[in-house]
Amino acid sequence: MFWGEKYRSLWNQRVAEMHKKTPKYLMSFNEPDVVGQANMDPNSAADLFMKEIYPWTKKGVKVCSPAIVWNLKWMQTFLSAIKKQGGHVDMACLHWYVTCAYG
């Protein structure tokens, strides 16, 4: 996962590793619709996705959407923006927070 610009140096390390061993799947940004997380506007996120994530599709990697928290409009804007640039996602990432109680 490219968490977001806050962890650019870690992303650069992962890219070096991925050049040695290509992953099957690549996740994009973590909670970009939340100020305390990746905190990205959808158009900037789309530009970054097309620059950093989408090129891996040429190597057969399946790419995932950002994992938003709640803002479906954010996701709609992001998906429209990557589509305008000729991109797509192969699957949508979800966050699922559930409390389980076992008897």
Q: What is the pLDDT of residues 52-96, one digit of tens each?
A: 999 999 999 999 999 999 899 999 999 999 999 999 999 998 877
Residue 90, in any domain of the structure: no
Residue 19, in any domain of the structure: yes
Q: For residue 10, give the nearest of 36, 30, 40 by alpha carbon.
A: 30
Residue 101, in any domain of the structure: no
Residue 93, in any domain of the structure: no
Residue 26, in any domain of the structure: yes
The domain total for the chain is 1
Burial of 32 (0-12, 13-18, 19+ CB in 10 A): buried
**pTM attached to this predicted model:** 0.88
Residue 41, in any domain of the structure: yes
Residue 20, in any domain of the structure: yes
Angle (nearest 5°) at CA 30 between 28 and 32: 100
Domain with 20 in it:
5-84
Residue 100, in any domain of the structure: no
